[in-house]
């Protein structure tokens, strides 16, 4: 974490590795093997996009962590603050000799390995061959439980990311005029987030006007906004890797009565779900609170997704606020509450805020207004 001192930063990663070792011991596993991903960033502070050159982080139960690094990335890994062991492989040699040497050094041949869920198949096949006859399981089983409870420092970064998204909403509202295309509005949102200092996007902004709003993951296109259109804006950005994610529904000029009614129901559903959040409650109860209300108002079949998802270094991660989910909520968990109603051929409405579980309930990280927003007037 950039803002903190070098010593503080080192303590953060040491504490994470200590907790990882406890989780490994408990699960009867010998090591986590991570590839460039949110997991590797969480454990080391090093981030890169995975490419065809094998880069792996080994986090054994019994020995210090070590990275297998292509020569091309050596300086970048060092610059990230990594002080531990690095086995660098030269381009001319390929990764296999260095990888086999490292596995022997760490005593991981034939070990029980927890493998990064996001690992590329070519990395995994190389690893399987080098560590044969290793037993492999998904690392999410051990890393998920570590990452699911955020520290106060992590919550602060999520709060800053949420504030940047709240701020960018203003630019999105200004861009929503009759005649603008969805793509233009998406660009205005992206520009506003980057100009405000975001380190990147959580995902490409979603802008859906009129009937497109009934397709929750449809990318923005060339449709031009028209008076009376509902417009769903769903976007987020990153601060030091931590994501925000907010959705607001707008209406260009005058809304039709059913749009106003549907929006009110979604607002109420979100409020009911939020008031259900407290330590000890189950994720499924939060989902049920929103879903029951939408069903009672006659739109049950139009609420076609879960109520929310966890958020942190990944835009979607545990806990999932889904029907019947038994996850017990704990202080420090952070997730979205985003009920929606989708009427095919007409419009969609969604309202999304990020909340953090506190000692006694929940706190919203987004502060933007929640009522149906009139724009282009």
> Could you list the residues that contact Co ion (CB under 5 A)?
234, 245, 247, 336, 352
Rounded CA-CA distance 226/210 in Å is 8
Give CA–CA dist 62/373, Å, rounded.
56
CB of 137 to Co ion, least distance (A): 28
What token pair was written down for 308? 């929310």
- Complex with Co ion: residue 16 or 160, whichever CB lies closer: 160
Q: Which is nearer to Co ion, 44 or 202 (CB)?
A: 202
Q: Please identify, using beta-carbon distances, which residue of 126 and 276 lies nearer to Co ion.
A: 276
CA separation for the pair 131, 103 (Å, rounded): 7
Supply the minimum distance, in Å, between the C-beta of residue 308 and Co ion: 7
Determine what percent of the chain falls in helix, strand and coil, rounding each to the nearest 5: 40, 25, 40
> Given the complex with Co ion, which of 134 and 356 has the nearer CB atom?
356
Going through the chain in order, the beta strands assigned E by DSSP cover 31-34, 56-60, 66-70, 85-89, 112-115, 135-138, 200-201, 206-209, 230-235, 237-239, 242-243, 246-252, 308-310, 317-321, 334-337, 340-343, 347-350, 353-357, 362-364, 373-375
For the CB of residue 333, give the shortest distance to Co ion in the complex, in Å. Answer: 15
CB of 172 to Co ion, least distance (A): 13
Minimal distance, residue 131 CB to Co ion, in Å? 37
Q: For the chain, first and last CA: distance in Å?
A: 43
**Angstrom distance (rounded) from CA 227 to CA 376:** 8
CB of 234 to Co ion, least distance (A): 4
Q: Is 228 exposed, middle or buried (0-12, 13-18, 19+ CB in 10 A)?
A: middle
For Co ion, which is the closer residue by CB, 111 or 333? 333
Question: Based on the number of CB atoms within 10 Å of its own CB, is 74 exposed (0-12), middle (13-18) or buried (19 or more)?
Answer: middle
Q: Confirm if 211 and 343 have CB atoms less than 8 A apart.
A: no
Q: Can you tell me the distance from the alpha carbon of 260 to that of 262, in angstroms, rounded to the nearest whole number?
A: 6
**Residue 117 beta carbon to Co ion: minimum distance, rounded to whole angstroms:** 19
Least Cα distance to 289 among 216, 361, 339 occurs for: 339
- Residue among 247 and 276 whose Cβ is closer to Co ion: 247
The residues facing 320 across adjacent strands are: 309
Beta carbon nearer to Co ion, 77 or 201:
201
Closest to Co ion by CB, 65 or 188: 188
Q: Residue 191 Cβ, how far from Co ion at the closest point, in Å? A: 19
Closer to Co ion at the Cβ: 180 or 366?
Answer: 366
Q: What is the DSSP letter of 98?
A: H
Cβ proximity of 335 and 298 under 8 Å: no
Which lies closer to Co ion via its Cβ, residue 16 or residue 238? 238
Give the nearest distance from C-beta 246 to Co ion in angstroms: 7
What's the token pair of residue 31?
């090591």
Q: How far is the CB of 239 from Co ion (least distance, A)?
A: 16
């Amino acid at each position: 974490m950039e803002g903190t001192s070098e010593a503080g930063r080192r303590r953060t990663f040491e504490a994470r590795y200590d907790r990882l070792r406890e989780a490994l011991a408990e699960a009867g596993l010998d090591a986590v093997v991570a590839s460039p991903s949110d997991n590797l960033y969480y454990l080391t502070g090093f981030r890169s996009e995975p490419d065809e050159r094998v880069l792996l982080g080994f986090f054994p139960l019994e020995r210090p962590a070590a990275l297998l690094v292509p020569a091309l990335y050596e300086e970048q890994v060092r610059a990230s603050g990594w002080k531990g062991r690095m086995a660098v492989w030269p381009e001319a040699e390929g990764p296999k000799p260095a990888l086999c040497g490292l596995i022997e050094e760490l005593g991981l041949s034939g070990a029980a390995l927890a493998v990064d869920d996001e690992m590329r198949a070519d990395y995994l096949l190389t690893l399987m061959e080098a560590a044969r006859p290793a037993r492999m399981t998904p690392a999410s089983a051990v890393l998920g439980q570590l990452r699911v409870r955020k520290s106060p420092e992590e919550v602060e970064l999520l709060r800053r990311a949420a504030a940047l998204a709240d701020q960018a909403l203003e630019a999105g509202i200004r861009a929503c005029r009759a005649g603008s295309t969805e793509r233009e509005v998406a660009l205005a949102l992206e520009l506003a987030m980057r100009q405000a200092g975001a380190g990147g996007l959580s995902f490409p902004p979603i802008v859906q006007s009129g009937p497109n709003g009934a397709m929750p993951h449809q990318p923005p296109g060339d449709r031009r906004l028209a008076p009376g259109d509902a417009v769903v804006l769903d976007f987020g950005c990153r601060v030091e890797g931590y994501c925000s994610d907010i959705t607001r529904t707008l209406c260009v000029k005058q809304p039709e009565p059913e749009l106003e009614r549907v929006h009110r129901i979604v607002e109420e559903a979100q409020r009911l779900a939020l008031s259900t959040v407290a330590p000890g409650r189950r994720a499924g109860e939060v989902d049920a609170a929103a879903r029951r209300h939408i069903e009672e108002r006659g739109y049950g079949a139009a609420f076609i997704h879960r109520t929310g998802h966890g958020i942190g270094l990944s835009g979607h991660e545990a806990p999932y606020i889904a029907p019947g989910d038994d996850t017990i909520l704990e202080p420090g968990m952070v997730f979205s509450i985003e009920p929606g109603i989708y009427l095919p051929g007409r419009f969609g409405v969604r309202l999304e805020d990020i909340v953090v579980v506190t000692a006694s309930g929940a706190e919203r990280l987004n502060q933007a207004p929640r009522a149906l927003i009139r724009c282009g007037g």
